């Protein structure tokens, strides 16, 4: 097993990282909002165009309607600056996100707390598991990982690498092994060794939804033979760069696996970071963390106000904007 990694010596503040990560989204929004407002006074046509700008950022129809209503209220015939719109946007985004911005909590009675991690291949699922394991390890928890994505050798190898980096034991079999069997053995060992957390990686092939549903259902079924309450959490990892397709993924994995928590990744690689807002408004699922980079520290509990300020292009010092 390789040496556990040491934390970086210096690190930008999380808000600075978040703002930089969301810069593509906020810059696009700011430019498009400014472009609309320089054309004419605030009238129905201008409001329609502002609404379209918000929709193109994947903020969702509900959020676009909220912002439009807030802007219109008492200001219909008055001039409006881009800063005014950003302030309203930050306020509305924070309002929607506050109820779902929840830190990940472990059940005290669960030994171990079993976390089934699901998501489409390529979303950063295995990396997210490594980052979660690192956080739990920092909190003094004893963590075990299970490589139940036995369809791809790369997934197994990647999880082993992360296990080495964070100092967590990895239960893995050869490619083609029964995923449920891997999960069962991992939970047996985690219980026997008194582990606090068991993170289970799973396959994310949606080409044949029926097969995936059967596979995940079998994993849940065998886990319950050892712990009637397992899995205690089902975490869906979403790639923000997929935009509206991320909403479809939430729907599918809700049906397949009964998702309880969300983690959103790759927010630094898209101009469509608003999709997180649309997902929050539509599903109301707890968003535990967001990823804005590949580094093990580029992963933090989700903060509604920081996100709202960053996506609207406002600084932390501008508290009125959130």
The predicted structure's pLDDT at residue 317: 40
145 with 46, same domain: the answer is: no
DSSP 89-145: HHHHHHHHHTTTB------TT-SSEEEEEE--TTSSHHHHHHHHHHHHHHTT--EEE
User: How far is it, in rounded angstroms, from Cα 160 to Cα 147?
Assistant: 8
Please indicate, yes or no, whether residues 70 and 135 belong to a single structural domain of this protein. Answer: no
Q: Are 119 and 249 in the same domain?
A: yes
Rounded to an integer, what distance in angstroms lies between the CA atom of residue 311 and that of residue 197? 33
Decide: pTM greater than 0.75. Answer: yes
Q: Please report whether residue 311 resides in a domain.
A: no
Residues at the annotated binding site for GTP?
119-126, 201-205, 265-268
Residues 48 and 143 in one domain: no
How large is the angle between the packed helices 23-37 and 14-21, nearest 10 degrees?
Answer: 60
Q: What is the CATH number of the domain that holds 20?
A: 1.20.120.140
Q: Could you list the residue range(s) of the whole structural domain that residue 90 is in?
A: 10-100
pLDDT of 297 over the 90 cut: no
In a domain, 276, yes or no: yes
Residues 92 and 126 in one domain: no
Pair 149, 90 in one domain: no
Per the CB < 8 A criterion, the answer to whether 88 and 42 are in contact is no
Q: Is the pLDDT of residue 221 over 90?
A: yes
In degrees, rounded to 5, the angle at the alpha carbon of residue 185 between the alpha carbons of residues 155 and 197 is 75
> Looking at residue 133, what is its pLDDT?
95
pLDDT given at position 141: 96
Count structural domains, the chain.
2
User: Do residues 190 and 239 share a domain?
Assistant: yes
Residue set of the binding site? 119-126, 201-205, 265-268
pLDDT at 78: 59
Two tokens, residue 60: 């969702």
Residue 94 lies in a domain: yes
**Are residues 43 and 184 both part of a single domain?**
no
**Distance (Å, rounded) from C-alpha 137 to C-alpha 259?**
24
Asked whether residue 168 carries a pLDDT value surpassing 80, the answer given is yes
Q: Report yes or no: 144 and 197 within 8 Å, Cβ to Cβ.
A: yes
Residue 148 lies in a domain: yes
Report the 10 Å Cβ neighbour count for 23.
Answer: 17
Express as a percent the part of the chain with pLDDT over 70: 89
């Amino acid at each position: 097993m390789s040496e556990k990694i040491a934390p970086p010596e210096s690190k930008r503040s999380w808000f600075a990282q978040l703002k930089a990560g969301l810069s593509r989204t906020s810059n696009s929004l700011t430019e498009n909002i400014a472009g609309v407002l320089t054309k004419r006074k605030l009238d129905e046509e201008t409001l329609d165009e502002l609404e379209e700008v918000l929709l193109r950022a994947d903020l969702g129809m509900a959020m676009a309607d909220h912002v439009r209503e807030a802007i219109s209220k008492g200001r219909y015939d008055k001039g409006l600056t881009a800063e005014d719109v950003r302030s309203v946007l930050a306020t509305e985004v924070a309002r929607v996100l506050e109820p779902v911005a929840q830190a990940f909590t472990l059940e005290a009675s669960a030994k171990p707390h079993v976390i089934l991690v699901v998501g489409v291949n390529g979303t950063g699922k295995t990396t997210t598991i490594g980052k979660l394991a690192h956080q739990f390890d920092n909190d003094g928890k004893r963590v075990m990982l299970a490589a139940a994505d036995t369809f791809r050798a790369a997934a197994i190898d990647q999880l082993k690498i992360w296990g080495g980096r964070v100092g967590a034991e990895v239960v893995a079999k050869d490619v083609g092994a029964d995923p449920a069997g891997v999960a069962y053995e991992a939970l047996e060992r985690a219980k026997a060794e008194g582990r606090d957390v068991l993170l289970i990686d799973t396959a994310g092939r949606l080409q044949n939804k029926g097969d995936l549903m059967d596979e995940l259902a079998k994993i849940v079924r065998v886990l319950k033979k050892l712990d009637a309450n397992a899995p205690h959490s089902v975490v869906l990892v979403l790639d923000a760069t997929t935009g509206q397709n991320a909403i479809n993924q939430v729907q599918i994995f809700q049906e397949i696996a009964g998702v309880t928590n969300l983690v959103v990744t790759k927010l630094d690689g898209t101009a469509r970071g608003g999709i997180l807002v649309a997902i929050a408004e539509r599903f109301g699922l707890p968003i535990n963390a967001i990823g804005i980079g590949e580094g093990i520290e580029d992963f933090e509990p989700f903060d509604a106000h920081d996100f709202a300020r960053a996506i609207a292009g406002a600084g932390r010092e501008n508290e009125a904007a959130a």
